[in-house]
């Protein structure tokens, strides 16, 4: 009896539960490059190239291990370019009696697979299960990441000492907000030259998706597990030590800083979260990196990454439709063109376009902060984040955007909106030096738009936010503003927002 095992582009792990269940002699693995997945939404060229090349390399690896792989390329005759219809076609082709899949990382795909009658195996490539998160969340009014993180730290025994957190504290975030000194050497990121498989894919992507957002070349990313492991090793030895201190810093012309740049590998299965966490803890135990760096990095993976996945599956499908602040404004064109006089936004969009990457604070406190303050429509903002970043999949993108950035879930994920004026961006970056606006001015033609947009946002959303205890100080400052100042803020914001195209 033959069974069909579809493997998706984000399931490139030899330890994938469905692969472990596959009988090499009789079963068939189906991998497919379908247009539907590349164009809904129209993903960044680098992201498509990365995934297609990683899939092709993985298929070769599977064949090398003795699996029978039916691989449908984008150019293959008869390719219907739909994930579900390719499964149906392959099922007929191989006379397969069953379709077995590892649980996909997208609600829509899980529904489609269930409709096809596929058997779904739980995805064990995370450090917590969906059931564990649901049990933890049951009965809680607020779902704060910190408490789920502590539970996972304890259960996995990570950075623990005699049942207590290493160093006596669970979280060293207060030590992780330093600005970048002028004279600091930033190690270059891990890079690989494209091999022949990747070169073929790059040509294919240029042919099929020439109008998609983003620069295809240069293409320096790893596309195999060995490459992804090398990228992780490079991070641990060269950048982790300073990750903690400068996690929130931004500098013009320096997209990578001390970040790991591994999320694209983690999210498609080339790296496992457990190995990343273990490598960071080992470096700390060996005395190579300080505790605030190891803990800060581990919290991102064991904390945030696991938490957003749990939240996604707990709250879908309703989570995607939430819009607690009733934000309706269309996405301004500069999110595609980078043509704006606001230098911080120009830099972050340009780097996103070049690299299909921006680090967390760029995504949150520049690009996201603007989307929040300007009241941009969550559907449009989510679509943008989903297509521009090489690491973006709905399970991780949606909670970060709707929950963390837009407060569209009404405060389920974040205890208050991550809203800030220009002073924050000025403190954490050097963007303001090259900007035509003046970050110290609150109103007027030279004023940094983040400044008046911040107060206008609080003013506009008073009914939804004024009860939030963490905003008491901000609202009391707003309430004490002289009437002419508040009028100027409102007028500046109205004119600015009306001018967005
Ligand atoms: P580092 O800063 O070096 O962090 C290490 C790892 O921690 C990352 O590789 C990632 O796996 C994990 N991590 C860190 N923060 C988060 C987080 N908030 N949620 C989940 N995992 C986290 N991350 C994605 O993987 N995919 C996305 O689509 C995505 N969209 C985001 C959208 C917004 C608006 C924001 C604010 C954050 C988003 N993130 C997303 C989280 C974070 O920005 C990226 O994981 C990180 O920038 C990836 O770069 P890095 O590997 O250099 O990460
Ligand atoms: Fe951004 Fe304002 Fe600074 Fe310009 S002045 S870079 S708009 S924060």
What CATH number has the domain bearing residue 72?
3.40.50.620
Closest atom of ligand 1 to 273 CA is 11
Q: Which domain holds residue 9?
A: 3-121
Judge if 17 and 140 occupy the same domain.
no
Ligand nearest to the CA of 357: 1
The answer to whether residue 228 sits within a structural domain is no
| Angle ∠(442,420,384) on CA atoms, nearest 5 | 115
Closest atom of ligand 2 to 436 CA is 4
Residue nearest to atom 5 of ligand 2 (CA): 439
Judge if 311 and 448 occupy the same domain.
no
Interval between CA 250 and ligand 1 midpoint (Å): 15
Instruction: Provide the pLDDT for residue 392.
Output: 98
Judge if 413 and 464 occupy the same domain.
yes
CA distance linking residue 238 with residue 253, whole number of Å: 19
Ligand nearest to the CA of 246: 1
Judge if 362 and 449 occupy the same domain.
yes
CA distance linking residue 293 with residue 247, whole number of Å: 9
Instruction: Provide the pLDDT for residue 176.
Output: 76
pLDDT in tens, 250-285: 999 999 999 999 999 999 999 999 999 999 999 999
How is residue 336 written in tokens? 């595609």
> Positive or negative, the Cα torsion across 176, 178, 183, 189?
positive
What would you report as the CA-atom Rg of the chain, rounded to the nearest whole angstrom?
A: 23
CA distance linking residue 281 with residue 275, whole number of Å: 10
Domain's final residue, options 86, 103, 121: 121
Judge if 42 and 154 occupy the same domain.
no
- Mark the ranges of the chain whose per-residue pLDDT is less than 70: none
Kindly write down the DSSP assignment for every residue of 387-421, as one continuous string: HH-TT--HHHHHIIIIIIIS-TTSSSS-SS-----
Domain's final residue, options 121, 144, 176: 121
CA distance linking residue 487 with residue 489, whole number of Å: 5
H-type helices in 422-482, by residue range? Answer: 422-428, 449-460, 462-465, 472-480
Q: Tell me, what CATH number does 138's domain have?
A: 1.25.40.80
Interval between CA 480 and ligand 1 midpoint (Å): 38
Residue nearest to atom 2 of ligand 2 (CA): 448
The answer to whether residue 113 sits within a structural domain is yes
The answer to whether residue 217 sits within a structural domain is no
Judge if 346 and 437 occupy the same domain.
yes
The answer to whether residue 325 sits within a structural domain is no
Interval between CA 439 and ligand 2 midpoint (Å): 6
Q: Domain tally for the chain?
A: 3
Domain's final residue, options 121, 152, 167: 121
Judge if 436 and 296 occupy the same domain.
no
Phi, psi dihedral angles at 6 (to 5 degrees) = -65, 135
Q: Count of residues for the chain?
A: 501
Interval between CA 244 and ligand 1 midpoint (Å): 15
Judge if 376 and 288 occupy the same domain.
no
How is residue 90 written in tokens? 């392959």
Partner residues linked to 329 by β-bridges: 376
- Please compute, for residue 357, the number of CA atoms within 13 A of its CA located in the half-sphere on the CB side: 20
The answer to whether residue 321 sits within a structural domain is no
Judge if 424 and 464 occupy the same domain.
yes
Neighbouring CB atoms inside 10 A of 15's CB total 10
Q: Tell me, what CATH number does 442's domain have?
A: 1.10.579.10
Instruction: Provide the pLDDT for residue 160.
Output: 98
The answer to whether residue 390 sits within a structural domain is yes
Judge if 364 and 451 occupy the same domain.
yes
The answer to whether residue 461 sits within a structural domain is yes
Judge if 116 and 135 occupy the same domain.
no
Judge if 70 and 179 occupy the same domain.
no
The answer to whether residue 327 sits within a structural domain is no
Contact 454 CB / ligand 2 (< 6 Å): no
Ligand nearest to the CA of 341: 2
């Amino acid at each position: 009896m033959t069974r069909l095992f579809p493997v998706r582009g984000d399931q490139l792990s030899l330890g994938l539960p469905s692969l472990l269940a596959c009988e090499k002699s009789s079963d068939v693995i189906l991998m497919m490059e379908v247009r539907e997945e590349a164009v809904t939404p129209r993903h960044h060229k680098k992201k498509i190239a990365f995934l297609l090349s990683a899939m092709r390399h993985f298929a070769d690896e599977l064949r090398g291990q003795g699996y029978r792989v039916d691989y449908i390329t984008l150019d293959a005759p008869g390719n219907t370019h739909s994930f579900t219809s390719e499964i149906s076609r392959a099922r007929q082709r191989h006379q397969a009696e069953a379709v077995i899949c590892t649980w996909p990382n997208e609600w829509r795909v899980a529904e489609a697979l269930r409709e096809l009658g596929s058997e779904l195996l739980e995805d064990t490539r995370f450090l917590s299960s969906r059931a564990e998160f649901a049990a933890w969340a049951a009965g809680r009014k607020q779902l704060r990441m910190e408490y789920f993180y502590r539970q996972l730290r304890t259960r996995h025994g990570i950075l623990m000492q005699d049942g207590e957190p290493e160093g006596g504290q669970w979280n060293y975030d207060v030590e992780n907000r330093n600005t970048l000194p002028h004279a600091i050497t930033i190690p270059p990121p891990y890079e690989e030259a494209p091999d022949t498989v990747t070169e073929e894919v790059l040509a294919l992507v240029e042919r099929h998706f020439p109008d998609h957002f983003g620069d295809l070349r240069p293409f320096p990313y790893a596309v195999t597990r060995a490459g992804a492991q090398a990228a992780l090793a490079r991070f641990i030895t060269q950048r982790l030590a300073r990750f903690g201190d400068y996690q929130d810093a931004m500098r013009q012309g320096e997209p990578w800083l001390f970040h790991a740049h591994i999320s694209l590998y983690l999210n498609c299965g080339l790296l496992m979260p457990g190995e990343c966490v273990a490598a960071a803890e080992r470096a700390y135990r060996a005395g190579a990196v300080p505790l605030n760096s190891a803990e800060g990095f581990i919290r991102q993976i064991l904390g945030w990454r696991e938490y957003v996945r749990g939240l996604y599956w707990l709250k879908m499908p309703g989570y995607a439709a939430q819009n607690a602040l009733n934000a309706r404004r269309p996405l301004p064109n500069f999110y595609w063109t980078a043509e704006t006089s606001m230098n911080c936004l120009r830099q972050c969009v340009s780097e996103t376009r070049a690299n299909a990457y921006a680090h967390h604070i760029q995504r949150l406190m520049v690009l996201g902060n603007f989307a929040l303050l300007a009241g941009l429509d969550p559907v449009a903002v989510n679509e943008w984040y989903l297509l521009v970043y090489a690491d973006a999949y709905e399970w991780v993108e949606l909670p970060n955007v709707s929950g963390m950035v837009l407060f569209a879930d009404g405060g389920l994920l974040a205890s208050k909106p991550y809203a800030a004026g220009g002073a924050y961006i000025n403190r954490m970056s050097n963007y303001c030096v090259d900007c035509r606006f003046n970050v110290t001015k609150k109103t007027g033609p030279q004023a940094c738009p983040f400044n008046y947009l911040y107060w206008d946002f609080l003013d506009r959303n008073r009914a939804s936010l004024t009860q939030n205890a963490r905003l008491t100080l901000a609202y009391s400052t707003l309430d004490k503003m002289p009437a002419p100042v508040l009028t100027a803020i409102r007028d500046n914001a109205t004119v600015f927002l009306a001018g967005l195209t």
